[in-house]
Amino acid sequence: MASPARRRRLPVLVPVVLALVAGGVVATTQVLGRGSSTPPRGPVAEVAGARIPASLFDLRLGSALTAIRQAGGAPEPGDPAYPAFLAGVKRRVMESLIIDQVIAQEAGYRHLAASDADVAAEIAADARSAGGEDRLEKQLSEAGGNLDQLRDAIRSRLDEQRLEDLFASQRAADVEARLASRAPFETLAGQLSDDEQSRSRGGDLGALNLAQLSASDASFIAAVRAAPEGRVSDPIRDDAGYEILRLDAQSATTRSLHRILVAAPRPYTVRERPPWFAAAIFQAIDDDCRAGRLRVLLDVGLQPCAPSRPAPAPPPASPRASAAPGGAANGFSPRP
C-alpha cells in the first residue's frame, strides 16, 4: 500500500513523450547522440549562459506532435483549429526545455548529471528487452520516434530523478531533525508528508494487516515489522521515497502506524513530481529571470520573464510546496 509496484520501462517512446508533454515537461537540454539529421539553426533560448539549440526544439516538437496525433488528440494541418493547437504545443515544448535546462545545470553542479555511458547503458537495456537494437529502432520508428528522441528522454529522466532523490533525502533528514527537536509528528505529517491519504489525518495509517502488506515494497514491510513500539524510525528508502514511521501499537497480525512520506518514486516520471520539488525548480527559474539570465529567442508566444508573466507558471501552491523544512534543503544552488 505504501509503495508503487515496480513497473518495467517499455522501450516504446511516443506514449512516454505524450505523457511528459501532458505533464508539462518532456526531457533535458543536453547534446544528443550521433544520428540527428536536423542541422543546427542557432539557439532558441538561453538559460544561465547555456544555449538551447533549435535542433533540440525541433526534435521535441516532432516527438510531441507525433505522440498527440497517435493518441487522436490533434487537428489536421488544414483544420482552422490547427494554428492555435500548434502554438500551444510549441509553448509547452519551450517551457519544458527551460525547465530541463535548469534541472540539467543543477544536476551537473552537484555531480549527478547523466553521462553518455549512463544513457548508452539504458539504451542497451531497452535493446535487450526489445530483442536487439534493430528491433528497438523498428519499434521506435513504428511509434513515430527514433534513438535520438529516446536518448534525450533517458538523459532527462536520469537527471531529474537523481536530483529529486537528493533533495528528497535532504528533506527527510530535516524532518528527522525536527522530530528529534520534539516537533509533533502529526503536525509535520500534515504539513510535509507526500502521502495524500494519510496527510489530512496527521500521518495516521491506522492498523495495517501484515498479511495484506506482504505484496508491498519489501523495504517498507521490513521496516514495519522491525519498528520499535512508541519510537520514530530513521528515514527508510523504498520505492515510494523516504519513509519516517512511528509505531503506535502492535499485535501478532497488525501494526498501528503514523507515517511521513517524502516522495522519491522509483521508477520516476514527471507526472509524480512532488510539489515541493516543482517549487524549487520554479524558484530557480524566477532567480534567472530576476538576474536577466533567461531569454527566449524563438517566437512561440512565450516570454517567461515578462513583468506580467512569471517564468513558466508553477502548479497551484500547496501546503507541502510552501513548507520546505530547514530553509535551505531541497533548494537549488546559487545560479551561475
pLDDT for res 308: 52
CB-based burial of residue 258 (10 Å sphere; 0-12 exposed, 13-18 middle, 19+ buried)? buried
For residues 191 and 55, state if they share a domain. Answer: no
pLDDT for res 312: 52
Q: Give just the sign of the alpha carbon dihedral 99, 105, 110, 115.
A: positive
For residues 155 and 257, state if they share a domain. Answer: no
Residue 208 C-alpha from the chain's centroid: 30
For residues 163 and 229, state if they share a domain. Answer: no
List the grid coordinates of 111: 555531480
A 10 A CB-CB count for 80 gives 7
236 forms bridges with which residues in the sheet? 243
State how many domains the chain has. 2
For residues 165 and 311, state if they share a domain. Answer: yes
List the grid coordinates of 116: 553518455
Cα–Cα nearest to 191, from 169, 210, 208, 174: 174
For residues 253 and 305, state if they share a domain. Answer: no
pLDDT for res 20: 44
Distance CA 185, CA 176 (A): 10
For residues 133 and 229, state if they share a domain. Answer: no
Q: Do the Cβ atoms of 138 and 297 come closer than 8 Å?
A: no
Domain boundary among 263, 288, 305: 263
End-to-end CA distance of the chain: 42
For residues 202 and 169, state if they share a domain. Answer: no
For residues 177 and 188, state if they share a domain. Answer: no
For residues 256 and 130, state if they share a domain. Answer: no
For residues 167 and 229, state if they share a domain. Answer: no
pLDDT for res 34: 30
Residue 220 sits in a domain of what CATH number? 3.10.50.40
Residue 79 C-alpha from the chain's centroid: 34
Sheet with 294-296: list strands edge to edge. 50-53, 43-47, 294-296
Distance CA 275, CA 262 (A): 11
For residues 141 and 33, state if they share a domain. Answer: yes
Distance CA 159, CA 29 (A): 11
For residues 205 and 322, state if they share a domain. Answer: no
Distance CA 280, CA 312 (A): 13
List the grid coordinates of 12: 516504446
**Cell 527551460 found at:** 98
Q: Write out the residue range of the structural domain in which residue 195 sits.
A: 183-263
Please give the chain's pLDDT, 336 residues, in tens.
444 333 333 333 443 444 444 444 333 333 222 333 444 478 999 999 999 999 999 999 988 898 898 888 789 888 999 999 999 999 999 999 999 999 999 999 999 999 999 999 999 999 999 999 999 999 998 887 889 999 999 999 999 999 999 999 999 999 999 999 999 999 999 999 999 999 999 999 999 998 878 777 888 888 888 888 889 999 999 999 999 999 999 998 999 999 999 999 988 888 888 999 999 999 999 999 999 999 999 888 877 787 655 445 554 444 444 445 544 456 888 766
Domain boundary among 263, 293, 315: 263
Residue 115 CA: distances (Å) to CA of 31, 162, 265: 11, 12, 21
DSSP assignment of 212-226 equals GGGGS-HHHHHHHHH
Domain boundary among 216, 243, 263: 263
